[in-house]
């Protein structure tokens, strides 16, 4: 009969491709037991990956079954998302474990489409997800998520309920104004509106809140980095040199304020002709990869210039929900797992577990 040391050694040889760590050192192994050759173990991943649970279970089962003396193996695989540290001195928001900023230095690179599909992909993998539209001047997420025209309700005239669709919660200034009304506001009014949308929305319990930022490095980005506990940032760009110039500025801004960069998403990396199948890098190639090499960050994924991405977003059903088994959805799901795994290896935040000490006169 094998002892637990041999079984643990077998598990330590299995490396999670998303975290780069083995299951033992990553503390994913729980409840390992061996009763007369009947082995049982639970694997708890630190990021949502419902689509991978079966594959992980099969991998672990095969590794343990290969050990001498093992007669049967039971493997349970689950995901458990915990809170992780944000900028120094910025406390976490109640009920929200992790906040992800989705940013770009330049407009028109597909940032909002990426944010929407990334949020939907995380939800598809089993996470509780919220999405905040921080583009006060040009809110587009209500249309992308198929909830344009809906108005949030307030249960107490102080807070507002987020709008839910496709399994995620969302809030946008677009729910509160007429679609044709321009937001002629100065910077302080815009940042105040963002703060209210964030804090006055009844998000409930969320594993991830994604914030779709406007382009650039202005007031909203500065307010976010100083007052909102951001776990990490995702930079969206295209391969085009001009887009990369602005993306670099956005990346450097987050570095200066102590927000970790989770990686870069390259949109419009290649165009495949729908008629003849010819592939051509219209906006250049290799730009995001070079940028990742320059700044020591990860290329999370590359998405093609594909008509369906635009059509699905305009129709209110982004690719992840419109074509869940398609190649585009698979690319977004892969990016989502990489983002979540990047957060999982960060230091945890235990501030919510510390008891509050109250001193009173008795």
- Which residues fall in the annotated binding site? 105-112
Residues in the chain: 362
Binding residues for ATP: 105-112
CA distance 37 to 58: 18
Record the tokens describing residue 164, joined without a space: 């839910």
CA distance 44 to 53: 10
CA distances from 156 to 148, 191, 240 (A): 24, 23, 48
CA distance 336 to 118: 6
CA distance 128 to 119: 9
Reduce the secondary structure of 225-270 to three states and give it as a string.
Answer: HHHCCCCEEEEEECCCHHHHHHHHHHHHHHHHCCCCEEEEEECCCC
Beta bridge partners of 191: none
């Amino acid at each position: 009969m094998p002892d637990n040391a041999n079984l643990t050694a077998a598990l330590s040889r299995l490396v999670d491709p998303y975290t780069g760590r083995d299951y033992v050192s990553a503390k994913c192994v729980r409840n390992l037991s061996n009763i007369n050759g009947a082995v049982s173990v639970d694997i708890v991943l630190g990021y949502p990956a419902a689509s991978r649970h079966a594959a992980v279970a099969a991998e672990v089962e095969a590794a343990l079954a290969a050990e001498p003396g093992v007669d049967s193996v039971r493997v349970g695989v689950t995901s458990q998302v915990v809170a992780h540290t944000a900028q120094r001195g910025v406390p976490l928001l109640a009920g929200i474990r992790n906040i992800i900023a989705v940013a770009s230095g330049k407009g028109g690179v597909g940032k909002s489409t990426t944010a929407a599909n990334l949020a939907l992909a995380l939800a598809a993998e089993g996470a509780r997800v919220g999405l905040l539209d921080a583009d006060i001047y040009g809110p587009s997420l209500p249309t992308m998520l198929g909830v344009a025209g809906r108005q949030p309700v307030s249960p107490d005239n102080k807070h507002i309920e987020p709008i839910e669709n496709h399994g995620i919660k969302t809030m946008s200034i677009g729910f509160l104004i007429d679609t044709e009304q321009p937001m002629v506001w100065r910077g302080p009014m815009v940042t105040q509106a963002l703060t209210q949308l964030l804090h006055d929305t009844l998000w409930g319990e969320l594993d991830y809140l994604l914030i779709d930022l406007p382009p650039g490095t202005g007031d909203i980005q500065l307010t976010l980095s100083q007052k909102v506990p951001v776990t990490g940032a995702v930079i969206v760009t295209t391969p085009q040199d001009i887009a990369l110039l602005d993306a670099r500025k956005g990346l450097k801004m987050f570095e200066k304020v102590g927000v970790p960069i989770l990686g870069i998403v390259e949109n419009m990396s290649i165009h495949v002709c729908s008629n003849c199948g010819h592939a051509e890098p219209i906006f250049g190639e290799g730009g995001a990869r070079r940028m990742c090499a320059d700044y020591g960050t990860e290329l999370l994924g590359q998405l093609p210039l594909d008509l369906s991405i635009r059509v699905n977003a305009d129709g209110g059903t982004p690719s992840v929900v419109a074509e869940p088994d398609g190649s585009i959805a698979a690319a977004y799901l892969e990016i989502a797992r990489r983002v979540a795994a990047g957060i999982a290896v960060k230091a945890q935040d235990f501030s919510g577990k510390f008891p509050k000490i109250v001193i009173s006169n008795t």
